[in-house]
Structure 1
């Protein structure tokens, strides 16, 4: 496990703990010689995480769609920046470069990326471990909804284990390193009641 794909907010949120956590995540990745793969932005938790990796001697690869360059949100000091033509290409390339994924607090984009990568795992497009850093209980209500989805038969119980949850970056990284979750890959067959 060398390349960690981070999904997180391009905002800071309303509680300083989220920015402090992003700072800690960046420091930890650099100290453990893990390369950050992310969306290439300079603002919010994205920028904080990238800056912390770089400040601690680590490497950062940012992948950003060309239309965002005009918004002047692109981080200008990364180890490597890859400009792509669309959000879809961005998400695919980030996943292609990663060995593991971690979602920090964020908004629509973070949830979009998280659920897409979970879906890709469920249908067998990858087998990377997927972590959720549940800082300050940010994802508690979402986790209740995921439990309901499984209880109501919309997510297979075995596949709920694809999401590895912790509120500490060090122990989450250790769990990701040791992940051997199999789950139930969904193929061409759709079960009917």
Structure 2
């Protein structure tokens, strides 16, 4: 399975996020899953790539030209796919993956999550996004989605497109489907 990982490129964040990200990358590699990610050498992006790559896993980095220009391409890439910008990157990440896992992240990660979920709601694909809710990181977003649904702003049940996993075991179960 090709697992797309959305996550933070920041390094000054809680150590538990790195611990769980490393664990995910190792599990992917040891179980023959490829990592598809943003190709950056910083934060959780580099952590998941290094963990997968050093355990013999395939890592596919979709690298926007700005990342390349700024010298921040991960050295842990099996395959580098260059692209022009973040819109192209999102399209390619989705195209090259079977499922998406969102680790802790910021504005870019939110943009990626909602791009995938919104396109699924209108039928462009059937891929789901798994929010890896490490230490309750996504609790506020989950509450917001529940509130939007209660107010009638989301057609159907948002859980059809965005799934919450609180542990690696729950991720493993979602990846079996």
TM-score range, shorter chain: over 0.9
- CA shift, 1:26, in A, is 0.4
Determine the C-alpha separation between the residues in 1 that align with 2:121 and 2:172. Answer: 21
Which has more radius of gyration? 1
Structure 1 residue ranges (4+ consecutive) displaced by more than 4 angstroms after TM superposition: none
Post-superposition shift, 1:13?
A: 4.6
TM-score between both structures, scaled by the size of structure 2:
0.95
Give the distance between the partners of 1:60 and 1:116, measured in 2 at CA: 22
Q: Note if 1:94 corresponds to 2:93.
A: yes
Q: Which residue of 2 aligns with 1:130?
A: 129
Unaligned segments of structure 2, at least 5 residues: none
| RMSD between aligned residues | 1.2
1:9 Cα deviation after fit: 0.3
Mapped partners of 2:57, 2:5: distance in 1? 14
Cα distance in 1, alignment partners of residues 12 and 147 from structure 2: 27
Deviation, 1:173, is 2.7
Which consecutive residues of structure 1, in runs of 5 or more, have no partner in the other structure? 179-193
Per the alignment, residue 40 of structure 2 pairs with 41
In the superposition, relative to structure 1, how do residues 159 and 14 fare at CA in structure 2: closer, same or farther (>3 Å)? closer
Find out whether 1:61 has 2:51 as its counterpart. Answer: no
CA contact (8 A) 1:150 1:160 kept: no
TM-score (ref. length: structure 1): 0.88
- How many Å apart are 1:85 and its aligned residue? 1.3
Q: Does 1:149 align with 2:148?
A: yes
State the distance in 2 between where 1:172 and 1:79 align.
Answer: 24
Aligned equivalents of 1:83, 1:14: Cα separation in 2: 28
